[in-house]
Amino acid sequence: MGDLQVLVAAMHQVDLALAAQMNLQCDAIIANQADREEITDETGPGGTTKMLTTKTRGVGLNRNIALLAATSEIVLFADDDVTYYDGMPAQVLKAFRENPDADVILFSMDYARGGQIIERRHLPHKRLHVWNAMRYGAVSMAARRRALLQGNITFHQLFGGGCIYNSGEDSLFLKACFDKGLHIYTHPYVLGICSRDHSTWFCGCNEKYFYDKGALMGYLFPKLKYAMTLYFALHVKKKTDIACPDRIRWMYRGLRGGRAMRSYEDRLQKEKP
């Protein structure tokens, strides 16, 4: 069993060339959503890369496929648009050794467009709490696999690219970690560069965007959903041309849709044998 595996969510890969493109320097599992069913693996200088290709869709399900196949002590979640800096595996493992109580660590990341770095999200070393942890993405997240297994923590399959709601699976994952009592830290080590040249789901802050955010607020903050919806609608005015009353209206529609979906999920759970 290796100490670290990178769990990559990818789409339409035809071979294992992605391992070199991402500069993977340790064992990795690529969960690849395409139009075929296939398992391939290859051992290189950095480690063994296994690709699990399925006909499934949805980033939450894809991440869960990789997570269930993992065998390492530490897992690092990734998308296929990340390129890691040299020495990444040793630095990630060092961070967990130096923080023995950390179950999840959110690392720093550089972001690029057109080959040029446009943002450096370099984080301090500190412990997070639920109220200040909902703005971090899965591509900077590493976790102790045993802690996730013991907490039965996986990614929600209704949220994220390719799902009913186009984003939010990473926030829901972190919320589940907090609900299970896991300790979550940020760390200044910079994993690599994440490209922002394109997005498979983000089409701007349009009506669908606010509808989906409304549904997410209901899942994240069931007791404070209306307050959090208003807060979010008021604080994105510089990112959209949609008037504030219309933003709130679309988010409230999302709240109602999400409430109906949660009721359906609860009914299915009760009907399980």
| Percent with pLDDT over 90 in the chain | 66
207-226 mean pLDDT: 89
Q: What is the pLDDT of residue 5?
A: 98
Per-residue b or e along 239-272, where b marks 16 or more CB atoms closer than 10 Å to that residue's CB: ebebeeeebbbbbbebbebbbebeeeeeeeeeee
Name the residue with tokens 């699976």: 169
Assigned token pair, 197: 């040249």
Q: What is the pLDDT of residue 2?
A: 61
pLDDT at 1 over 60: no
243-272 mean pLDDT: 79
Entry field: residues in the chain? 273
Report residue 269's pLDDT band, with 50, 70 and 90 as the boundaries: low
Please state the pTM of the whole predicted model: 0.89
Q: What is the pLDDT of residue 131?
A: 74
Q: What is the pLDDT of residue 264?
A: 57
pLDDT at 201 over 70: no
Q: What is the pLDDT of residue 16?
A: 95
53-69 mean pLDDT: 95
User: What one-character-per-residue DSSP string does 200-224 give?
Assistant: SS---S-HHHHHHHHHHHHHH-TTT
Report CA 38 to chain centroid distance, whole Å.
Answer: 24
236-254 mean pLDDT: 86
Name the residue with tokens 């690219």: 161
| Percent with pLDDT over 70 in the chain | 93
Mean pLDDT of the chain: 90
Q: Convert the pLDDT of each residue in 169-188 to its tens digit.
A: 999 999 999 999 999 999 99
Q: Convert the pLDDT of each residue in 103-156 to its tens digit.
A: 999 999 999 998 899 999 999 999 998 877 778 889 999 999 999 999 999 999
Report residue 220's pLDDT band, with 50, 70 and 90 as the boundaries: confident
Q: Convert the pLDDT of each residue in 75-91 to its tens digit.
A: 999 999 999 999 999 99
Contact 159/168 with Cβ under 8 angstroms?
yes
